[in-house]
Amino acid sequence: MARCAFMAGEEFAIKLERLATDMDAVAREAIYEGTKIVADEVKKNLQAVISEEATGGLVDAFGITPIDKDIHGWNAKVGFDGYDETQKTKKYPKGVAYQLKARAMESGTSTRRKKPFMRPAMKATKLRVTEKMNEIIDQRTREIFG
């Protein structure tokens, strides 16, 4: 087991303690802002690829999950929730799941050409998301350390 000891002033120790207690809030804020950038880009791409006669249900079903912490760290997901109740069938009594419709649009099917909207959004926003999250973390750290 590694051990690290250093002598520092009481003020510095208080700031480190405050940073440790505020880190959850800082992480949540950074992840939310990063996820918001991705979600906005996905919605923009999705609206560009859906047909004119679409009901808009797929766009409305898109959203962000609540931010949570698990054994791997903090995370939030973007995706689709619910069912298209206008397309109830014997196979899909609740209606076709929006996740299924989005997957068919993203990757294509045997009868439908693919119209990617998720992958291009992820690719286009990766750098912006990283910069925004780093900016928020740095700003909050500077506020704590003054």
Residue 35: DSSP 8-state: H
Q: Render pLDDT for 68-101 as a digit per residue (tens, 0 to 9).
A: 988 888 889 999 999 988 888 899 899 999 999 9
Q: Render pLDDT for 5-24 as a digit per residue (tens, 0 to 9).
A: 555 567 767 776 777 778 88
Torsion of CA 33, 40, 59, 109, to 10 degrees: -110
pLDDT of residue 9: 66
Q: Which residue has the higher pLDDT, 55 or 128?
A: 128
Residue 91: DSSP 8-state: S
Position 131 pLDDT exceeds 90: yes
Distance CA 54, CA 140 (A): 43
Phi, psi of 71 (to 5 degrees): -65, -20
